[in-house]
Structure 1
Amino acid sequence: MLHSMYVKNLALIEEIEVEFGKGLNILTGETGAGKSIILESVSLALGGRYTKDILREGTPFGLVELTFFLENEELKKQLEKLDVFSEENTLVLSRRLMDGRSISKINGETVSMSLLKEVSSLLIDVFGQHEHQSLLQKKNHQQLVDLYAGEKLLAVKEEVREAYKSYMSLEKEKKEEESKTRNIAKELDFLRFETNEITEARLKENEDKELEEIYTRMNHGRTIKESVQRAYSFTGGYEGGADGAIARGIKALAEGLRYDDKLEEYHKQLLEIDSLLSDFNRDISEYEASLDFEDAQVQEIEARLNLVNRLKGKYGESVEAIHRYLKEKEEEIEKLENYEAYLIELDQKIEKAYAHLRDKASKLSKLRKESGKGLGEKIAEEIKDLNFEATKFFIDIKEKESITEEGMDDVEFMIALNEGNSLKPLVNVASGGELSRIMLAIKTVMAKKEKVETLIFDEIDVGISGRTAQKVSEKMAIISQENQVIAITHLPQIAAMSDVHFLIEKKTSGGDTTTRIRKIDENEKIAEIGRILGGVKITDTVKENAKEMMNLAKETKEEMRV
């Protein structure tokens, strides 16, 4: 659950810290006191959209920090899958907001926005002031059904997307082929010219590099030849070379060897050196001879190198790239030469891909209908507790004319608000207050399903009053028995049901205005509910009404616990 919140330098907030409790936490305050910024701060910490104008004027940064106590072992396992680990069952989400940028951290470690949002979705569910309006968009009906189904459906949904992608890729290929206004014969002639040009060149692997090396040697042949000749003159090509000196050394050691056997090893070494030098002189002499290039050889190498470079300029930056280009064009030729067969084969592929897509979409549809039936029944049960006694609720899932990446289903929430009314689309008949209550019912069902510990409601009571308000307060009390609920309200029935009550106030001092939040005791709660009931002037009668409302709320909660 959400244990505490710390906010600094946001809008009218200079610095506040609040500790929430278990059960139903209610936040109230006069219009303009800053109730919205409290929940906006929570949303920011959870990865909500940030604009720099929310920073308190004259401050360099803002900070929001949420501390969660984790008791659910399953939740800890889900977080660990994301490589997020609690410290002594505590998880701290913080977001530092600066001019145009922000830094998010979990337990002091900087994290990406995507990870922050993923972690947040496991910890808390925020219901904003206008979120019930999302029920007016049919696409959200399907999303709720899919979320209720869970991982199994989402896995199949991903399979449908992959199948749809493959199918549409083939359809695009066919459309491109059919729309081409080309002369196949002319294109074949051009492709054959290119492939013949490459094939006739008979390019060898790495031939371009080898030719460049030979050409460089030819181009600098005189310099190379002179260096080889000098080396040969020093080692044995001329009188006074190293070979003559070594021969004399061998002869000298041979004379001494007659009187000292220890010279045998030195004599052998010098003989080996003489042999190696003889091999070297022979090889370098042959290499010198190879440096005498005929004009015809030079011209032949130049011509071959020019051919290779011309082909590289047209078809690829290397011989390897040219061979790849050749293979691609040969495949195109084969396709064009068998164009009719290619189109038939493409149609067969499309037919097979569509059958695969439909199979996956049917599987998804079956799971969706099972989920829709279960979710619809659960929502119907919940809304009966919200002064919808005669209301019927049903999730209608029909097959669409075409299959998309979302499948083949048209999902729509249907409702009959009064006895005798037929089911009609929710988007056509529900008012703002009715939508709020239906969304509350949905949140109740989803919270049980997803096991999110903390629910936040920002003015869920919009558009309701009287008996309906009492029913909503009772529903929130029921939810708070299993979940921590934090709610902003302007209705006394809901405020009276609180387990913990916070008052949000706006204070002005020295020309500076700030928003504050504080936990209030029983007497202050009576006064606050009285203010909500009676407005500016709180009479004794108003206070008595507030006390009676609180006593009735206590009795109702006690009955719920039985």
Structure 2
Amino acid sequence: MLTELSIRDFAIIDHISITFKEGLTVLTGETGAGKSIIIDAIQLLSGGRGSVEFVRHGAKKAEIEGLFTVEADHPIHSKTEQFGVDISEDGMVVLNRAITHQGKSICRVNGKLVTLGILKEFGRALIDIHSQHETQSLMDPERHIELLDLFASSEMKSSMQEYRRVYEKYRTLVNRYKELSENEQEMAQRLDLLEFQLHELQEAELQPKEDEELSEERTKLNNYEKIYQGIHDAYYSLYGEQKGLDWLSHAMTSLESTGDFDDSLAKMSEELSNSYYLIEELTFQLSSQMENLEFDPERLNQIESRLNELNRLKKKYGADVEEMLEYASRIEEEIDEIKNKDSRLANMESQIDELGQDAVLEAKDLHDIRKHVSELLAGYIHDELKDLYLEKAAFDVDISIKEGKQSDPVLDGKPVRLQSNGFDHVKFLITTNPGEPLREIHKVASGGEMSRIMLALKRIFSRHQGVTSVIFDEVDTGVSGRVAQAIAEKIYGISEGSQVLCISHLPQVAAMADTHVRIEKRVDNDRTYTGVSELSHQEKADELSRMITGAELTETTLEHARELLEMAHKHKLNK
């Protein structure tokens, strides 16, 4: 849920900080007070298009920051891993967006600078904004297949995974086939390049880890004097009259004579004796090292020359010798593939046909599942519309198969176009008037009907979308009476599964609020300011009374407001 929202120097807002709670929060206030500006700020926070016009006059930048708390199983966790954003153990995500007076946009997620595109990815997973005049995913035909699959997620999960596994293999093979077959001139040039590279790598006679071994040998030769002097000093500190070993031998002999009288001294004598012979062996090794150590300037020149050659090749073929050897192996396979292109293409055609038909069978499973769940969805939507006094409305899900090209895989003798989610094209169709044909949902005309249709769809899909906060910006425009009450109850129903923030002019919706926030505008020293305040129960009644009459409070309107609050309370108790 959206826990805290901070807005600074945004439009007419100088600085406000709003704490949001679970359930349904309704924001009300007079026209122009800044209600929709708050929604604009949240849209920017979720990756919406910014403008220098949003920066408050005289300020250097506008800044919006939102604190969200998410559960351990929320989809946002996959995005934090994908984009390398750290998330705290208590599931807190902070989105931050700043727009400078020069029009520059700065985005952060949990303090990490991100692109606007990445901020939008996080915003989509956390916030779902709906407004009366906005084209939204529920009304976008291109998104209907996603929504249907979301509704059918439990039934489709395993089938979708299997389809995508086969589809990815199919697409990879098709793309490789195109590369091999489409451009003879490019392929010939590619072959020349690869053969040159392979020849250069083979001429180099690379040996595994030779760059590391040569670098180590070069270090030794470059530091010959230091190494020799160190071994020399160590050896002559240990070996010779009155040197380390001589004194250790004297100590060993002295301690041996005490061992008969004290067991602990006998043990110490044995340890000293062992140490003496170890150091004596080390002395022999130092002597051997000193005798074998020699400085060979010619060898150093050879090493430098070879390392220079390896570094030249690394710039072209890999970070180390192992990567260059792997690259040589890969291009050798590609050369063989190009030289034997015709036989390879024939083999790939057979594999493509086989994988294509496998993918079609998997896509057919998805198609059948969608057909089944679409009937369930239509029933649920019809029930929701009936509650919203659109009982004569008819809803259907049209699922058609996308037609493919002649070279595409076939189903029942007809080519089909495979995509990442199968071969289906899904459209939501509706009619609100008996006798009228079903039409695409975004072509339904009436604003009031559109509000109710959108709420019906949202009521169903909010259970599956997993977003943290659902925001409605005056979606109840154009309705009144019993429809207004039905809309209020639907919005409240959505808040039972997701946090809902709602800007409304309907007293029925405001009465249903778990938290009621009033937005007010004031003028101070010729500057406009916006403020927010959470209303008490009595203040709610006063605000509802103003929403009913739009004028002075009267006992009649106050009584009506109290009645609305009581009705809302009873509705919640009966849920």
- 1:125 counterpart residue number: 128
Give, in whole Å, the separation in 2 of the partners of 1:366 and 1:170.
Answer: 27
Paired AA for residue 19 in structure 1:
T
CA 1:363–1:17: 2 relative to 1, 3 Å: same
Per-residue CA deviations over 1:20-65 (Å, capped at 9, x if unaligned) read 3454322122222211111223334445444444222222344434
How does the TM-score come out when normalised to structure 1?
Answer: 0.64
Displacement of 1:126: 3.0
- 2:570 counterpart residue number: 558
Q: Where do residues 238-249 of structure 1 align in structure 2 (5 Å cutoff)? A: none
Conserved in 2, the CA contact under 8 Å of 1:394 and 1:413? yes
Conserved in 2, the CA contact under 8 Å of 1:65 and 1:92? no
* SS of match in other structure, 1:501: strand
Per-residue CA deviations over 1:280-314 (Å, capped at 9, x if unaligned) read 9xxxxxx9xxxxxxxxxxxxxxxxxxxxxxxx9xx
Unaligned runs of 5+ in 1: 208-275, 281-286, 288-311
Give, in whole Å, the separation in 2 of the partners of 1:403 and 1:397.
Answer: 15
Equivalenced residue count is 449
CA 1:332–1:450: 2 relative to 1, 3 Å: closer
Q: Are positions 1:504 and 2:519 aligned together?
A: yes
Displacement of 1:416: 3.3
Deviates further, 358-367 or 525-534: 525-534
CA 1:561–1:328: 2 relative to 1, 3 Å: closer
Displacement of 1:509: 1.8
Q: Are positions 1:84 and 2:87 aligned together?
A: yes
Q: Where do residues 79-478 of structure 1 align in structure 2 (5 Å cutoff)? A: 82=80, 84-87=87-90, 91=92, 93-95=94-96, 97-99=98-100, 100-106=104-110, 109-110=111-112, 112=114, 124-131=127-134, 133-150=136-153, 153=156, 157=160, 160=163, 163-164=166-167, 166-172=169-175, 174=177, 205=205, 341-401=343-403, 402-419=417-434, 421=436, 423-450=438-465, 452=467, 454-478=469-493
Give, in whole Å, the separation in 1 of the partners of 2:478 and 2:52.
Answer: 32
Unaligned runs of 5+ in 2: 81-85, 208-287, 297-312, 404-416
Conserved in 2, the CA contact under 8 Å of 1:508 and 1:514? yes
Displacement of 1:453: 5.6
Displacement of 1:376: 3.2
Displacement of 1:120: 5.4
* SS of match in other structure, 1:407: coil
Per-residue CA deviations over 1:488-539 (Å, capped at 9, x if unaligned) read 012233233334322222212212111222233455445544444444x447
CA 1:40–1:335: 2 relative to 1, 3 Å: closer
Conserved in 2, the CA contact under 8 Å of 1:132 and 1:435? no
* SS of match in other structure, 1:387: coil
How does the TM-score come out when normalised to structure 2?
Answer: 0.63
Conserved in 2, the CA contact under 8 Å of 1:380 and 1:394? no
Conserved in 1, the CA contact under 8 Å of 2:518 and 2:535? yes
Conserved in 2, the CA contact under 8 Å of 1:125 and 1:455? yes
Conserved in 2, the CA contact under 8 Å of 1:76 and 1:85? no
Q: In angstroms, what is the RMSD of aligned CA positions?
A: 4.9
Displacement of 1:351: 0.7
Conserved in 1, the CA contact under 8 Å of 2:519 and 2:531? yes
Deviates further, 455-464 or 132-141: 132-141
Give, in whole Å, the separation in 2 of the partners of 1:551 and 1:355.
Answer: 64
Give, in whole Å, the separation in 1 of the partners of 2:537 and 2:348.
Answer: 76
Paired AA for residue 16 in structure 1:
I
Q: Are positions 1:479 and 2:494 aligned together?
A: yes
Paired AA for residue 58 in structure 2:
G
